Amino acid sequence: MGSFEDGLAALEIWRSDATMRTHTRGAPSVFFIHLLCFASAYISDENPEVMIPFTNANYDRHPMLYFSRAEVEELQLRASSTHEHIAARLTEAVHTMLSSPLEYLPPWDPKDYSARWNEIYGNNLGALAMFCVLYPDNIEARDLAKDYMERMAAQPSWLVKDASWDEVPLAHSLVGFATAYDFLYNYLSKTQQEKFLEVIANASGYMYETSYRRGWGFQYLHNHQPTNCMALLTGSLVLMNQGYLQEAYLWTKQVLTIMEKSLVLLREVTDGSLYEGVAYGSYTTRSLFQYMFLVQRHFDINHFGHPWLKKHFAFMYRTILPGFQRTVAIADSNYNWFYGPESQLVFLDKFVLRNGSGNWLADQIRKNRVVEGPGTPSKGQRWCTLHTEFLWYDASLNSVPPPDFGTPVLHHFEDWGVVTYGSALPAEINRSFLSFKSGKLGGRAIYDIVHGNKYKEWIKGWRNFNAGHEHPDQNSFTFAPNGVPFITEALYGPKYTFLNNVLMFSPAVSQSCFAPWEGQVTEDCASKWSKYKHDQAASCQGRVVAAMEKDGVVFIRGEGVGAYHPQLHLKTIQRNLILLHPQLLLLVDQIRLGEQSPLRTAASFFHNVDTPFEETVVDGVHGAFIRQRDGLYKMYWMDDTGSSERATLASVTYPRGYPYNGTNYVNVTLRLRGPLTRAAYLFIGPSVDVQSFSLHGDPRRLDVFVASRQHAYAVYLWTGEEGAGPGQGVGRPALAHVVADRREILFEGKAADPSTPAPEVQDYTAIVERNLQHFKPVFQLLEKQILSRVRNTASFRKTAERLLRFSDKRETEEAIDRLFAVSRRQQRQQQQSRLKKGRRAGRRSPFVDAVPDIFAQIEDNEKKIRQKAQILAQRDVPRDEDEEMKDLLDLADVTYGKHPGGGPWGPRRMVTAAHSGRGPALSASYTRLFLMLNIAIFFVMLAMQLTYFQRAQSLHGQRCLYAVLLVDSCILLWLYSSCSQSQC
């Protein structure tokens, strides 16, 4: 059984030969590469594969992941010209690292490395390595990168000690380390190349093993999945390029199987959104876009026409607050983005949009980045996507804003259940932002897949998705008049209802976190994550009933009753938002109780994560305000009887383990009277001086009157489910009627949320299978290249044995001998014409045809042990985890041998034949045992012949002994042959 080091030695000759062959045709290759790069500036998005040429296994050692050695010079030229603004940020990042190396270098001590969340080390390494590629004369930076990698390679594990069940930190380390290895390969010593490659192999092997046990292997559209799969793919591509085809084949197939399914399911998301929100969406797309690029480059799998991808720009553009510094922070979130989003935006522009809008938005975000205070990128994430931003930026696409830039636009994300208004505007007076959230748990697509029992071949209910980052936030909203955050989300915190801008009720009817108050059904008192898999939580949903804009007035209505416990006997929880003026928002809640409802009180919550509220009261109407540099931002409230209760103003500190300290909120308590209770809230910017505020109504309609110094508003709100006012169109009842001074605006219509679920993608399994057919030919080409390049060398047998290890044991020697015979016969002919034939891909030779299909044998072996892997995985996974494995495995597991003293995944030797299963190993052990016994018996009988039977007079006895010795000799020869083939 060959060791990892043996493999490195065996492959060195063919790699050197490949390098020499490439140099002989380097000049024309460089010419055509430059020609293609020049032409790509004029290629439309109809042919993205032209902008990402398929390598077809034509590698010139390293680098090879994102670019080849021939392209390095062109990248260096771009750094001083068209890409100078991105190169400047790379330079700034590396100079910061060099100025404080101990602050950024990984620690040598494994206890320190694993003591806390350590994604920073892998995240920053990519930018450092890219800088070294662009500026090879900077020896100090290169030495820092080598020291960086040595420190990471010295760790027994990249996992976090207190979160050993989470491979995400390891994935960040692996993708950064493997990328740096590819970029810096030619600057590493021979010892470093081998040592670092072993580290990549061991980490990738560990990721491969855990992909069968952890949720990221089967929970689709969750940020962990592309993050971890991208790390495993990067490691497998590096190993593939080094000639370790069996391991890379298995790992690549596992990644493609997972991610191609995920991309099929993503077709159901018709609005370009990601249900985990903008911040975690940037986490997902950071790796998802890298995956799309790499599978196109290396396996010719094209996803650039994906319908979700074409809509994703809207998800990034329509969620940015005025000033380009913050985003709508729905679900677990920071103030804006975890990763990028400049890299993702230039990716969309180059490969999808081709109109300059992506480059323009990236420029706006770059120019307006927060330098200090809330919204500043974290030290471990701010440089992570600089190398891909540099590689994907297309300078030929001039920055052009979208056609509607400068005009507030209402946008409805139907799948996400989110409405935004006034996004991506300059931070100016009367440039305001409004958002509203009321949708299905996990988004409409995921919810309908789960409840509609769709994709039965892959999906087994909520176990295949993870809505843990969602909040109990149906019917929540945010408001930023003048771009100033007034009512905000509470960011990444506990999943409690009162930490969102929604309602709670009393008394509680179930086990509540804050008795006697009860919130939405996804609230979980004992977990950091939302409840979503069982009971009422699994069916939690809200609904956007209407979302309209006319003459600068916005009307939004949502229904949130589906997010609360059925035993509360709530008939409707209707929330209406009417933006009368950029600095004047009216919110009306209507609560209708069933006859058996035990509820007596409701509580509304309104948050500002940055600034505490202060109390105010005017003419008996209670309110609250926050102080900002441009003035006071105020809110007032009253119910439909004209009563205004004093609110509770408070701040809450989050428990340890959350990235933010806490939030400030206003708690307005409302007494529920009879079957119908309504309350109105007014939110006012500093430029509006409200002088009167009143409301009255009947069971069908609520009338609200607001007057300021400049304007007078009357709002007539029909609060039935479908409205009841006099609509202008047949079958289109009115929902609201607004009179602003002398202007009259009527909002009418039925539900804005389509009720018909999207159809299942046709032939979804066949789509995945077709894409999986692309990668195997690449490995087969590499296998033939390896054998053809070493066939006349002393290392041929060692290389052939290694590559053919997964073939049938009885045919391995015959295959090698056949390869030798063909090699000797063609040696003289190919010595003169090898280069010419190498360029003619269509011609085949007897040598190439003699190579067995080792990858078919690998797949056969995997099918045999798949059931055993399932049983083992089910036995090892705790029943209370979200990662049940029944009926979810696509490939079998593989075990890697540990090096004495190694940690969870290294350092240890990678076993190249690990996937041959336990059967052959067990057979080899028995063969070895019988061989030793038979040798002993043979010598015993031979001794008896020479001593006892030599003196015996019986000829018959001597003949019997000779017969036994002859039979035993035959058995001995057969056992020796079997033992030789199985390498026992």
Q: What amino acid positions are annotated as catalytic residues?
A: 224, 280, 492
Helices 764-772 and 245-266: angle between axes, nearest 10 degrees:
150
The number of residues in the chain equals 984
The count of other CB atoms within 10 Å of the CB of residue 45 is 16
Q: Are 424 and 405 in contact (CB under 8 A)?
A: yes
Quote the CA–CA distance of 242 and 748 in Å, as a whole number: 65
Structure tokens at 52: 């990402």
Strands (E), 568-647: 570-581, 584-593, 601-608, 614-618, 621-628, 631-639
d(CA 485, CA 759): 39
The alpha-carbon radius of gyration of the chain (Å, integer) is 34
Determine the number of helices (DSSP H) and then strands (DSSP E) in the chain. Answer: 27, 22
Kindly state the DSSP code that residue 356 receives in the 8-state scheme. Answer: S
CA–CA distance, 665 with 675 (Å, rounded to integer): 28
Q: What are phi and psi of 574, to 5 degrees?
A: -100, 130
Enclosing H/E stretch for 547: strand 543-550
Q: What is the 3-state secondary structure (H, E, C) of 365-422?
A: HHHCCCCCCCCCCCCCCCCCCHHHHHHHCCCCCCCCCCCCCCCCCEEEECCCCEEEEC
Distance (Å, whole) CA 725 – CA 557 = 15
**651: which residues sit within 8 A by CB, 6+ positions away?**
612, 662, 663, 664, 665
How far apart (Å, rounded) are the C-alpha atoms in residues 557 and 919? 64
Cβ-based neighbours of 714, under 8 Å, separated by 6 or more: 703, 704, 705, 738, 739
Could you give the count of Cα atoms lying within 13 Å of 110 in the half-sphere of its Cβ? 13
β-pair type (601-608, 631-639)? unpaired
DSSP 528: S
Interatomic CA distance for residues 936 and 940, integer angstroms: 6
Residue 849: DSSP 8-state:
H
**Beta bridge pairs of residue 736:** 717, 747
- Provide φ and ψ at 532, rounded to 5°: -150, -10
Structure tokens belonging to residue 204: 């990738």
Q: Which of 896, 895, 893 is nearest to 862 (CA)?
A: 893
């009860």: which residue's tokens? 518
CA nearest neighbour of 106 among 98, 90, 118: 118
State residue 515 phi and psi, 5-degree precision: -55, 140
Whole-angstrom distance between the N-terminal and C-terminal Cα of the chain?
A: 9
DSSP state of 186: G
**C-alpha span between 684 and 487 (Å, rounded):** 11
Query: CA dihedral in degrees (426, 430, 431, 435; nearest 10)?
Result: 160
The backbone torsions φ and ψ at residue 817, rounded to the nearest 5 degrees and listed phi first, read -60, -40
Q: Which residues pair with 683 in a beta bridge?
A: 585, 635
